């Protein structure tokens, strides 16, 4: 392979010593178990968030067909697997505890880690690095948003399909690979441009042109369908001129988006939030890393960083992954949007890590341990905010249902972005009263009580304007306080 000869040469079966493979499995298993333990409070609490309410309530009141009609009119040909997400939530939310629904994207997130390790093994990356790559995927500082939000189910589903497609292509199963790739690009927009490039790298040479051509044709067809049928949504019904100029708008996005996604805000905030326990966690992470670091296996082949061609391909891949983000405005900047890029970077780190002759392993391990500890603090912080937000807003919703008549109107003023402070960036930290389209179905979900809800935000109009048409008018803080009293009585 001219761009980096032999980098993805498959390793013969049995070549990797069992001790290295076992070490890799232990690393991935340990990280996965910790991830599940940290995420468990959200699953146990089992509270819907934002779109979850509409996906549950509207199909069960107006009919699934009616909601599908509205959604299709809005999104056109963009991400049609959203219809599958709606069907899953609607069919389960009133039959099982909602924590079961939340567990679905969590299981898919763990499956992404396993498939990542499998793909890296297929590519000949030496142990324990394939499993380290899978573990790195789980260490996205705000990965809770994609892993624990049913409305974001399409992300983990699309990444599972994308990884399955690459593994199938690697094994020469072109037809099945194309089918999996179709599911991937219909689920995650960021894969549309990048998947053909990655397919070219991983497919065996004798099949490369045919497989890459098929995936490229598939992506081109999806792009054409989205342009011809964009729907009426603000993010999808965008002219060609706007798509071409949008990357030049909101330039601060290119700094804020990666900074948020890499935890530059959430990790320090989580450390302060969890003091003094966070200091113990960081010290324990450093000590464990320093202990494990010297046991990191040396590269099996002659060490050396990949060539400039490899790094050029990485840069192009990251750019292609983010083209759909750049051509939209406002640029979507939630942590879940960064998940495909995080996955790509996790695989790159594993590939490079397997080829580096590491020095001062105790220091390297200690630094890595601190970083991993910081990530888990960030994940725990995000989980805590989600659980506390649900605990605060649910009794407020139940109280409100006792005050506003069925079919009545309520105006909530001075609404903040988050129910608790501090909170990380991203939609996973928001609350039910952030939008009327989540507050209204939430009233039905919890109390089967329809009402029209008007929201006025704190940063737009702090005081309540004239609301003579509303049956109930109150500030957000008053609502939460009444909900606290109501919950206390219950």
The region of weakest confidence among 96-100, 101-105, 332-336 is 332-336
Cα(426)–Cα(411) distance, rounded to whole angstroms? 25
Residue 358: the pLDDT is 76
Contacts of 183 (CB under 8 A, 6+ apart): 81, 157, 158, 161
Residue 230 and residue 243: Cα distance in Å, rounded? 12
pLDDT at position 488 is 66
Structure confidence at residue 331 as a pLDDT band (50, 70, 90): confident
Question: Which letter, b or e, does each residue of 44-76 get, where b requires 16 or more Cβ atoms within 10 Å of its Cβ?
Answer: ebebbbbbbbbbbbbbbeeeeeebeeebeebbb
Tokens 């890499």 belong to 262
Position 97 scores a pLDDT of 95
How far apart CA 185 and CA 356 sit, in angstroms, is 33
pLDDT of residue 141: 96
pLDDT tens digit sequence for 175-191: 999 999 999 999 999 99
């Amino acid at each position: 392979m001219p761009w980096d000869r032999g980098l993805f040469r498959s390793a013969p079966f049995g070549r990797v010593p069992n001790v290295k493979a076992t070490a890799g499995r232990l690393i991935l298993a340990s990280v996965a178990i910790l991830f599940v333990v940290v995420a468990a409070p959200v699953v146990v609490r089992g509270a819907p968030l934002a779109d979850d309410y509409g996906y549950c309530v509207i199909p069960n009141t107006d009919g699934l067909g009616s909601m599908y009609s509205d959604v299709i009119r809005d999104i056109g040909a963009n991400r049609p697997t959203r219809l599958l997400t709606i069907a899953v939530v609607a069919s389960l939310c009133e039959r099982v505890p909602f924590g079961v629904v939340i567990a679905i994207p969590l299981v898919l997130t763990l499956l992404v880690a396993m498939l990542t390790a499998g793909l890296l093994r297929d590519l000949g990356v030496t142990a324990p690095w394939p499993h380290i790559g899978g573990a790195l995927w789980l260490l996205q500082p705000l990965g809770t948003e994609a892993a624990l939000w049913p409305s974001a189910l399409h992300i983990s589903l699309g990444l599972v399909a994308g990884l399955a497609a690459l593994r199938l292509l690697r094994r020469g199963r072109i037809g099945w690979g194309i089918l999996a790739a179709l599911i991937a690009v219909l689920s995650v927009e960021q894969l549309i441009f990048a998947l053909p490039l990655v397919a070219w790298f991983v497919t065996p040479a004798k099949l490369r042109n045919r497989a890459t051509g098929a995936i490229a044709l598939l992506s081109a067809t999806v792009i054409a369908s989205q342009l011809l049928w964009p729907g009426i949504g603000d993010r999808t019904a965008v002219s060609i001129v706007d798509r071409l100029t949008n990357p030049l708008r909101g330039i601060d996005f290119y700094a804020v988006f990666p900074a948020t996604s890499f935890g530059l805000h959430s990790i320090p905030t989580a450390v302060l939030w969890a003091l003094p326990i966070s200091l113990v966690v960081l010290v324990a992470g450093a000590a464990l890393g320093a202990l494990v670091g010297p046991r990191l296996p040396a590269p099996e082949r002659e060490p050396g960083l990949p060539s400039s061609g490899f790094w050029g391909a990485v840069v192009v891949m990251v750019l292609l992954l983010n083209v759909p983000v750049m051509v939209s405005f406002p640029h979507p900047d939630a942590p879940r949007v960064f998940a495909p890029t995080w996955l790509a970077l996790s695989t790159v780190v594993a590939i490079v890590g397997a080829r580096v002759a590491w020095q001062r392993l105790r220091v390297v391990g200690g630094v890595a341990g601190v970083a991993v500890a910081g990530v888990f603090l960030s994940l725990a912080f995000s989980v805590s905010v989600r659980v506390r937000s649900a605990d605060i807003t649910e009794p407020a919703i139940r109280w409100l249902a006792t005050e506003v008549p069925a079919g009545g109107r309520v105006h909530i003023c001075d609404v903040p972005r988050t129910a608790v402070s501090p909170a990380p960036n991203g939609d996973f930290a928001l609350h039910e009263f952030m939008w009327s389209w989540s507050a209204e179905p939430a009233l039905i979900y919890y109390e089967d009580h329809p009402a029209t809800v008007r929201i006025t935000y704190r940063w737009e109009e702090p005081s309540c304007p004239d609301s003579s048409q509303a049956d109930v008018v109150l500030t957000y803080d008053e609502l939460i306080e009444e909900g606290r009293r109501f919950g206390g009585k219950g």
